[in-house]
Chain A
Amino acid sequence: MTVLEQPGTADHRNTPPPDWHPRTDPAPLLPEREPYRVLGTPAAAGLDPALLRRLHAELVRGRRYNRQATALTQQGRLAVYPSSTGQEACQVAAALALRPQDWLFPSYRDTLAVVARGVEPVEALTLLRGDWHSGYDPRTHRVAPLCTPLATQLPHAVGLAHAARLKGDDTVVLALVGDGGTSEGDFHEALNFAAVWQAPVVFLVQNNGFAISVPLEKQTAAPSLAHKAVGYGMPGRLVDGNDAPAVHEVLVEALERARNGGGPTLIEAVTYRIEAHTNADDATRYRDQAEVEQWRAHDPIALLERELRDRALIDDEGIREAEAAAEAMAATLRDRMNTDPVLDPMELFEHVYAEQTTQLREQAAQLRAELDAEAEFHAEEGEGR
């Protein structure tokens, strides 16, 4: 007699298994086989000329912004700058796809998206300048503070989207993350919560090829990052991250789906980090220049400009205008960054709690006394001269 034949147990031969089957058909959630592209395809003919010109002007401005910020690190005016050169199409499309009532959750490499959303460049760079706070008021432009710990902003984005939906507001959220960030636990938890709650949030992964020095093949064995969506029960989209109108179109579609109660989407934009991780990094230690050149030839601005010229939507004069506007932005940024910021050390105690604790009051008084003594010393030194 076998275990299964013991008296008193059910007749296993005739009892059907409990009804169980996968809850959704994964097929409709699968991303494209190849990155979605518009530029250089017949679909480009249908693109709105006004949108194309706007994207172009912003890309040119964005490239100039990246160049200026990098220059500011060399002049010691910025503590560090993680460049998004080469990724401008993702940055700009992200900002332009949002409506005023929507929220953007950027990572540290996304200051260009923050600027394209309307935040003053000098404000967007406050943290990277070495200041203690995030600069802009997040509520003014509905842009969360730059997030430095990887992927930790994603659950925030989901929570805010969920709260907006609970309140019945017409607000959707766009969260930005890089390819390296998709390995973090918070990426997983955020996507899972978003899908379970059907939160109106869109995740845009800018796959720029590297997490500092580590290439994607050491980061994941997934078919593509967009495929990860399927495991959460949300659609994945794969798009050419250097094709600005394509990124814009995919984002708008996903954001509107979220706005209409369709739930979250994971978008992977395939792009490339043309510069090193930051000004403190040396990219020649881990990648070939030939690879960089290949991506330079697939430049987001050049791709868009070709389309505009082919359709006679822009001429040399139009390009000069875009460049002049970018120069003006860069000049203002340079001027404002060349002024030393006024930092009051006493402010460090002001916003730790709503109401200062007695301990912090004591410590603030200690620092105040040190500052006063320092000032007195310098005053006496000045008199002595």
Chain B
Amino acid sequence: MSTATAPSAAPTGRKPATMAQALGRALRDAMAADPAVHVFGEDVGTLGGVFRITDGLAKEFGADRVTDTPLAEAGILGTAVGMAMYGLRPVVEMQFDAFAYPALEQLISHVARMRNRTRGALPLPITIRVPYGGGIGGVEHHSDSSEAYYLHTPGLHVVTPATVADAYGLLRASIASDDPVVFLEPKRLYWSKAEWSADAPQQVPPLGRAAVRRTGRSATLITYGPSLPVCLEAAELAVEEGWDLEVVDLRSLVPFDDETVCASVRRTGRAVVVHESSGFGGAGAEIAARVTERCFHHLEAPVLRVAGFDIPYPPPMLERHHLPGADRVLDAVARLQWEGN
């Protein structure tokens, strides 16, 4: 895909930036590049969003393009459908993972199907930003990992960044997509930092391409979003154990990059899927099945899953027991039938 160059002045050298800043910059640049892009949702205007991702946009682009809506998620997404039907490119914000559920009917019955139902006459280029996941000490309904609900719905793309640069690139790619994208923003990585400058030319990655974040020969950790740092940490700790782990960051769950994932697993012969959402019926189940179907003869051990427990997301005082950490990942790696190797 294309390389989007930020419209502002010459590159100013890289300094630490947060994922939140990169997301905000992506929105700003997308709005500057295309007058059809409209941002709306709860508190996104004057306040700049509860996570401040849309900070400054209302001031720069005005209330007609950056709009505080009534507090109603189905209404937000439902009106986005109509706006997209008329040629706009809405980017809506669902304030928190669990507050996006009222919009599920619009998402499943209309957003995901309108292109198909009209044989391509009415594509819906809508980006639905959803802050998701735990680890921030949120009270009930503020820490859900809802990706499985979305990826089970044909017609949607499901994208989630794990790095600062990807936060920018994947959000630009999502907004540019002519299909609806559920863009899941890992809340606990909002304040993660990297050497990154929005003023340098940005690579906008195509949707549906995974990235190998660490190369290794012993086993593959397949992960996405908030669990990437956990896997990278586990991979560093694993060195002491004599394991050289490869880490694949999926970046998008739909479309799914079978090619990159399977190439890695065929190389290493072992795989663990890591995510923080509940394991039963989760993304990891699909991934483990796909990998097993495609790489069976290369596998030295069953594909294992490390996931959150099958319990409602626990309260902040207990969430550390629920969230998979590096130790739990290493426990799984240890179970990959190393005997005789």
Q: Does A134 contact B (CB under 8 A)?
A: yes
Q: Are B106 and A152 in contact (CB under 8 A)?
A: yes
Nearest-neighbor residue (CB-CB) of B88 within chain A: A163
Per the bound structure, the CA–CA distance linking A138 and B87 in Å amounts to: 13
B residues in contact with A76, CB < 8 Å: none
Q: Are A156 and B119 in contact (CB under 8 A)?
A: no
Per the bound structure, the CA–CA distance linking A196 and B72 in Å amounts to: 13
Per the bound structure, the CA–CA distance linking A167 and B86 in Å amounts to: 10
Which of B69, B83, B102, B255 meets A160, CB within 8 Å? B83
Nearest-neighbor residue (CB-CB) of B78 within chain A: A155
| Nearest CB of chain A from residue B186's CB, rounded to whole Å | 23
Q: Does A145 contact B (CB under 8 A)?
A: yes
Task: Tell me which residues from 125 to 161 in chain A have a Cβ below 8 Å from any Cβ of chain B.
Answer: 132-134, 137-139, 144-145, 149, 152, 154-161
Per the bound structure, the CA–CA distance linking A175 and B76 in Å amounts to: 17
Q: Are A162 and B79 in contact (CB under 8 A)?
A: yes
Compute the total of residue contacts between A and B using a CB distance below 8 Å: 134
Binary interface encoding of chain A residues 321-364 relative to chain B, with 1 for a CB under 8 A from any of its CBs, else 0: 00000000000000000000000000100111110011100000
A residues in contact with B72, CB < 8 Å: 189, 192-193
Q: Does B109 contact A (CB under 8 A)?
A: yes
Q: Are A166 and B64 in contact (CB under 8 A)?
A: yes
Known: A196-B70, A357-B254. Contact between A352 and B155, CB under 8 A?
Answer: yes
| Nearest CB of chain B from residue A229's CB, rounded to whole Å | 16
A-side interface mostly: helix
Q: Are A152 and B109 in contact (CB under 8 A)?
A: yes
Q: Does A186 contact B (CB under 8 A)?
A: yes
Q: Does A302 contact B (CB under 8 A)?
A: no
Q: Does A164 contact B (CB under 8 A)?
A: yes
Q: Are B79 and A156 in contact (CB under 8 A)?
A: yes
Q: Are A133 and B155 in contact (CB under 8 A)?
A: no
Q: Are A186 and B74 in contact (CB under 8 A)?
A: yes
Which of B78, B157, B259 meets A190, CB within 8 Å? B78
Q: Are B83 and A159 in contact (CB under 8 A)?
A: yes
Q: Does A231 contact B (CB under 8 A)?
A: no
B residues in contact with A190, CB < 8 Å: 75, 78-79
Q: Are B82 and A152 in contact (CB under 8 A)?
A: no
| Nearest CB of chain B from residue A97's CB, rounded to whole Å | 20
B residues in contact with A167, CB < 8 Å: 86-87
Q: For chain A, give the interface size range.
A: 35 or more
Nearest-neighbor residue (CB-CB) of A159 within chain B: B82
Q: Are A159 and B70 in contact (CB under 8 A)?
A: no
Q: Are B122 and A138 in contact (CB under 8 A)?
A: yes
Q: Which of B110-118, B139-147, B233-241, B321-329 contacts A (4 or more CB under 8 A)?
A: B110-118
A residues in contact with B242, CB < 8 Å: none
Q: Are B119 and A152 in contact (CB under 8 A)?
A: no
B residues in contact with A144, CB < 8 Å: 85
Q: Are B117 and A134 in contact (CB under 8 A)?
A: yes
Q: Are A155 and B79 in contact (CB under 8 A)?
A: yes
Q: Are A352 and B116 in contact (CB under 8 A)?
A: yes
Nearest-neighbor residue (CB-CB) of B80 within chain A: A159
| Nearest CB of chain A from residue B111's CB, rounded to whole Å | 10
| Nearest CB of chain B from residue A198's CB, rounded to whole Å | 13
Q: Are B83 and A134 in contact (CB under 8 A)?
A: no
Q: Are A134 and B118 in contact (CB under 8 A)?
A: yes
Q: Are A159 and B118 in contact (CB under 8 A)?
A: no
A residues in contact with B69, CB < 8 Å: 193
Known: A133-B116, A352-B115. Contact between A139 and B78, CB under 8 A?
Answer: no
13 pairs, A vs B, C-beta closer than 8 Å? A139-B121, A144-B85, A145-B118, A155-B82, A157-B82, A163-B83, A186-B74, A186-B75, A186-B105, A192-B75, A193-B79, A351-B120, A358-B255
Which A residues lie at the B interface, using CB under 8 A?
132-134, 137-139, 144-145, 149, 152, 154-164, 166-167, 185-186, 189-190, 192-193, 196, 347, 350-354, 357-359
